[in-house]
Amino acid sequence: MLRVSHAFNAQQYRRKAAMCESYAAHAQSVDDREQLLRMRDGCLARAEKEDWLGGLPPPPPAQALALRLPA
């Protein structure tokens, strides 16, 4: 049975998401841009799933505020 590197797969999905975002920034129509952004979101969701399968905790939300540790 083949061993799957979930970290490698997650990295690949994140790379695909970055490409989709780049293409969406230069899309010529609204429909194309929306489709590329949906593809980006799907790739990011797959990357999070691969992280979960590999035992890593989920990343914090993009809009999360940092917590201050008591001194």
* Secondary element (H or E) of residue 4: none
In a domain, 70, yes or no: no
pLDDT tens, position by position, 58-68: 666 776 666 67
pTM of the full predicted structure?
0.71
In a domain, 64, yes or no: no
In a domain, 30, yes or no: yes
In a domain, 66, yes or no: no
Number of domains the chain contains? 1
pLDDT tens, position by position, 19-57: 999 999 999 999 999 999 999 999 999 999 988 888 766
In a domain, 59, yes or no: no
Residue 17's domain comprises 6-53
41-to-14, 44, 45, 63, 71 alpha-carbon distances in Å:
10, 5, 6, 16, 38
In a domain, 61, yes or no: no
In a domain, 27, yes or no: yes
